[in-house]
Amino acid sequence: MAKDKLTQLGQAAKQPASPDEAVLERVGNPHSDTDYLVRFAVPEFTTLCPVTGQPDFAHVVIDYAPGKWLVESKSLKLFLGSFRNHAGFHEDCTLSIGKRLVEVIAPKWLRIGGYWYPRGGMPIDVFWQVGKLPGGLWVPEQGVAPYRGRG
């Protein structure tokens, strides 16, 4: 749930034990009258395989066109870090992140790309978007190359 009073920024904040315990915070968008893009790139995202308990790794890219709210970045870092002890399939983790952000900040448009490193010999990439992309908004490619192994 979003809190409009910041409780993590500018002070010591403990890493949440799970995504459910993590608090995503939001701040007002000082340019809510302008369409623009915000991008968060998380090249070292980790979580656990729900079957084996082994670590899974991904490069996650989150793009959104803000409305009234922005996600506060420290709370986002803590939320994403809380997945390190969470067991979830790639699809579940990627969509859970995207849906939680939508719940808290209600963006005009959001897309998330989860570029997962191979599990069982094959990478699994997961993509989701919601909302209507504002007309004329420049949205660059996410910039993550497809997995090609060692070659």
Catalytic residues: 49, 56
Instruction: Determine the Cα–Cα distance for residues 55 and 49; give it in Å rounded to an integer.
Output: 6
SS3 for the chain is: CCCCCCCCCCCCCCCCCCCCCCCCCEEECCCCCCCCCEEEEEEEEEEECCCCCCEEEEEEEEEEECCCEEECHHHHHHHHHHHHHCECCHHHHHHHHHHHHHHHHCCCEEEEEEEECCECCECCEEEEEEECCCCCCCCCCCCCCCCCCCC
